[in-house]
Structure 1
Amino acid sequence: MSNNLIFSGIQPTGNLHLGNYLGAIRNWVKLQHDFDCIFCVVDLHAITIPQDPAVLRSSIREVAAGMIAAGVDPKKNILFNQSRVPAHAELAWVLNCIARIGWLNRMTQFKDKAGKNRDNATVGLYVYPNLMAADILAYKATHVPVGDDQKQHLELARDIAQAFNSQFGVDFFPLPEPQIFKTAARVMSLRDGTKKMSKSDASDQSRINLTDGPDEIAQKLKRAKTDPLPLPETEAELEDRPEAANLIGIYAALSDRSAAEVVAEFAGKGFAEFKPRLAELAVSVLGPIGLEMQRLTKDPGYVDQVLREGGEKANAIAAPIVDQVHDIVGFLR
């Protein structure tokens, strides 16, 4: 492995959609050309809330298939599901004994996910950020791609690494740096431009699933919510037009252009002209991914083999690092 190592994880929630692709997976495909990359389907994180075991197994395979279909090369990178590598859970316990309750109390995501029924949330959900730190530090990863909702967790991982080094007087864990994409796409619902695109939305019309066929993609974009005005002359005019901003943002992301460039091309034109162009672009980019994903999900043996081999490679890196942690902490082995 090189000195620059990327670690990134994705929840096995199933039903991958356009937001997952533009917000994370597409960027991972680009990263694999410049970094050694470890990509993890974080099934240990998934069980912080109740899961149907059969659905969880299916979702792990589906997410892995989606990543491969989108261009993540399992021969060039390490792709595995988290529970295959004991180092994640082992290191998480050590880090539980380094992190402070006050640090975890500041984590806004726990407050959001636990909601009003905080006392009924699992301990796993509360210490989730410590496991995330273990995911990264088990490989001594130097860079972690993060969105806005994960920046706080990466800062905590850095604090924990620094605290470990300080407590034991070692220079062992690197402080992982955020890998932030200048053009990271924040994809909103097709039915409400003020809400993130989500698989939990009751309406399937609110999102484009990676398994959608060309006709479904085109129909969903045709029905996507808009406002009655023509497309604006400048990007600044999109600020008070969330649906227009969302569709232009999707077009920009799919075409690898800036929103300003897309606004300039379609300035003053109506959505009746813009939407078919957007649908054509989306089908050309997402269509092949959906077809390959469907093929892979019909061949679970191949996906399982990729995850198994990836797990063996990941374990070969993480196990010696955790052994060193045991020595530093003072465990007798």
Structure 2
Amino acid sequence: MSVLIFVEIDNGAIKKSSLEAIYYGSKVAENTQSSATVLAIGAADADALKAAGKFGAKKVLHAADEKLSHENSLAYADVLVQAAQQEDSKIVIMAKSGLGDAVAARAAAKLKAAIVSGVTDLPDTSGGFMVTRAIYTGKAFATVEMNTDVKVLVVRKNAVEAVETDAQASVESFSPTLRDSDFAATVKNVEKAGSELSLTDADIIVSGGRGMKGPDHWDPLLELAGALGAATGCSKPVSDLDWRPHHEHIGQTGIKVAPNLYIACGISGAIQHLAGVNGSKTIVVINKDPEAPFFKAADYGIVGDVFDILPRLTKAVEASK
């Protein structure tokens, strides 16, 4: 019996959020006296798959059929179910994402499993199987008891602090049965955002609001992001005004992020924006208005003009390298 961890692949490598899910799954396996097995679907580098062992996986099942080269939640869910049945997996784990949520829901229905999304901590198995999850867009937490034979956990980013070792996992080819009905809709073309860092996987995000005063005044923010190796984001009003691309919109109706460090520049801190960033480990707010609501959610606050503060921060970061 094993804990099965579904991972997402990007450019041949396992996504960072999925590496965290592997570590989380390895800890669940330890607590339930089982082993951690990874399921990777699509084209992937063999060495990258072996590296799953650094985060606690013992084995990787790799389904590399050409039909699975593009993300397809219907087909991926079927593959996941077949892998779970082959490995006799009673616990299935994956990182929370658009694809993860879709695959988890479909797989749970096929496995007749209970499903909990937004998991924030390791399960408590001392008196059953209790799981803590974020609710109300992260403003509160609920403890859920899972009573089904098979359980599906969709883990929020930074649920646990992943620790690497020098271990490597064995990689086995996995050839599931693919149903034609899962490919009724096909992907014709995929356009990616180039070399930009993914907001959902970024460890550091520097984000701007209307306090940046317009689309032509973002250089200080971009320079700080470059010095930190950070992704860039923005508030909803900024994307609505076309100051920044819409894929950078962070908030309740945009992308929800959970980086280790979130730096908000000239963002007032409306509740809709806070709902998208409250999973961040550390929040730094820069705003010239000392009454800005964002300061109440900040770990560190700087009252001042962003156009004065940002160059100083960039200079300090570069000096520390």
The structure with the greater share of residues assigned to helix is 1
Question: Whose relative contact order is higher, 1 or 2, with alpha carbons under 8 Å and at least 6 apart?
Answer: 1
